Structure 1
Amino acid sequence: MTTSGNVTVIPVREAFQKCFRSGQISSGNVLDDVFVQTWNGESISLDENASHFFIVLSGDLFVAYEGKEIHLTKTWYGVLPGALRVSGNGSALIVSSLNYISIPLFGGPLEEHGRLRYVDGCTNSLLLAPPVLGEPCLNFLNLPAGTYQTPHTHPTIRVGMIVSGNGGCGTVEERLVFEPGSVFIIPPDTLHSFQTDDENIRIILFHPDSVVGPTHDNQTMLNNTFVEGICAKGLTNLHTRDLQPV
């Protein structure tokens, strides 16, 4: 990963501790295949052997991609594959998934509430869906004021940015303070609980994998195709066998 300015590679545990205690991290590898950096208006180049997820907190972020300039602004988000040049003014979180080729996707501005019911009164939305089950995705979490989440864990890392609101996250050791722009990394199987006081919090989160999504044998187009009244999902003799490389 090549960037301008000072780049410090931070091991996952150190990155977790640093970002929670200070509210911000600069950049670092959190796993062998995930790289995280905060962007504050500098001009940077992003690795060609990765797909790059953007979460814009403020200002204007411009991405040079295949001869075009793509503009993302406050609370917009997106993912693009390959070598990119980023410029503009403002602040954002960039999460790069190495050795993964995404579909170019964008969205925004972020809604106030999620479209799905989660736990403990929270709501969530799938912002950037995985093209295939198991691939990375981007999610939105809204916590109403006065929320105290049931302590829980996740089997894979979570990388997120607080988009609006104030609150914190309870861990085994302490309650860590969140404010707009705070960036956090939660290692796998780490017990935690997001908490709010007198206002709600909006969080955008990168997941390095997915447990819900389409597969070659279970997908919208296939499942809603019928041959003489029979769903094509069960007509395996018709299924495409060879997939063209991306």
Structure 2
Amino acid sequence: MNRREQPQTAPCAFTAYDWQHGALSDSFSAWADDVSARDVQATHFGFVYQGSARLLHSGHSWTVYAGQYFSVPGRFTLCARAARGVIMRRAGWRGLFMIGGPVEHKGRLRYIDRCSDTTLIQPVRRGDPCLNLLYFPPGVHQTAHTHPSDRLGLVLSGRGTCIARNAGADVSIPLEAGMILCIHAYGRHHFATDRNDEMRVLAYHPDSDCGPTDDDHAMINRTIVDGVSARELSSIRTMGDATLEQT
């Protein structure tokens, strides 16, 4: 599910997947057994839904537990015979290695219609992919909306409903913990929860429109020379250094 330009509506907004070991699409997999990735030009985002697993990368080994997430550039192996989770693949992009979590219960940033969000893995640069936690409090009925790229998700806890426009008609899909889903690019949809239910969803975005750039990041902005930010001083800025490129 690579990003591409599409019209502002999609014939199918929502797809749910059975939990099975292996690929669900060209960039989305579920796992309940060992996994090996050999593509040195890709980065994988992963989440442990149940149990624990051993993550092997570049001669090192880590244990990742339920509620934790990771980002791994290049080759890796996940030893996961007593666990299960999901993996999202971003081809042709090299991210940072990271292990985080466990995820918090609620998001730290205000979203829409009383929902909240935490960006678990930030874009390394503006436009890069990111991983998010979405929190839906009880009694939410979101405004219908779309996204300009696919959203791959996993319901972490609770229950709710997705009202999605599939084949020209709105359909209501019950959601519960452990459900794997995709909201397709430009698919009109919204989420709802009953007044006694809340819901938490892991959401992967293959792209973004925020994050640092060479001209706007915390280090350059807050380096001050005689009262002036280095962002404004082109004479001392690092320019065109090929050694900064990631391979």
TM normalised by structure 2 equals 0.87
Matched, 1:27 2:42: no
Aligned to 2:187: 190
Q: Which residue of 2 aligns with 1:7?
A: none
Counterpart amino acid of residue 133 in structure 2: F
Aligned-partner SS, 1:17? strand
- Pair 1:15–1:37, CA change in 2 (3 A): farther
Whether the 8 Å CA contact 2:13–2:186 is kept in 1: the answer is: no
Q: Among residues 36, 55, 72, which one is paired with 2:64 in the alignment?
A: 72
Please state if 1:221 is matched with 2:235: no
Work out the percentage of aligned pairs sharing the same amino acid.
Answer: 32
Write the distance in 2 (CA, Å) between the matches of 1:71 and 1:14: 38
Distance 1:25 1:91 in 2: 9
Cα pair 2:13 2:184 within 8 Å, conserved: no
Matched, 1:61 2:58: no
Query: Which residues of 2 match residues 225-240 of structure 1 at below 5 A?
Result: 225-240=223-238
Q: Distance in 2 between matches of 1:71 and 1:52?
A: 17
Name 1:10's counterpart in structure 2.
none
Relative to structure 2, which stretch is displaced further, 46-55 or 154-163? 46-55
Contact 2:138-2:197 within 8 A present in 1 as well: yes
Change (3 A) 1:166 1:24: farther
Say whether the 8 Å CA contact 2:67–2:103 is kept in structure 1: yes
Structure 2 residue identity aligned to 1:180: A
* Contact 1:168 1:177 (8 Å CA) reproduced: yes
After superposition, residues 146-185 of structure 1 pair within 5 angstroms as 146-172=139-165, 173-185=170-182
Structure 1: tracts of 5 or more residues without a match: 1-12
Is residue 127–residue 207 contact of structure 2 (8 Å, CA) maintained in 1? yes
Q: In structure 2, how many angstroms separate the alpha carbons of the residues matched to 1:137 and 1:219?
A: 17
Root-mean-square deviation (Å): 2.1
Larger relative contact order (CA 8 Å, sep ≥ 6): 2
SS at match of 2:173: strand
- What displacement does 1:90 show? 1.4
Cα distance 1:26–1:166, how it changes in 2: closer, same or farther (>3 A)?
Answer: farther
Per the alignment, residue 6 of structure 2 pairs with none
SS at match of 2:235: helix
Whole-Å Cα distance in 2 between the matches of residues 151 and 126 of structure 1?
22
Distance, in Å, in 1 between the alignment partners of 2:117 and 2:20 is 23
Letter matched to residue 38 of structure 1: A
The equivalent residue for 1:5 is none
Matched AA of 1:233: R
Count of equivalent residues? 228
The one-character-per-residue Cα deviations of 1:178-230 (angstroms, maximum 9, x if unpaired) are 11111111111100111112211111111011111100000100000011211
1:243 deviation in Å? Answer: 4.0
User: Which deviates further from its counterpart, 132-141 or 168-177?
Assistant: 168-177
Partners of 1:225 and 1:44 lie apart in 2 by: 43
Pick from 31, 38, 57: which aligns with 1:47? 38
SS of equivalent residue, structure 2 residue 219: helix
| TM-score w.r.t. length of structure 1 | 0.87
Does the 8 Å CA contact 2:49/2:66 hold for their aligned counterparts?
Answer: yes
Match of 1:144 among 127, 137, 147: 137
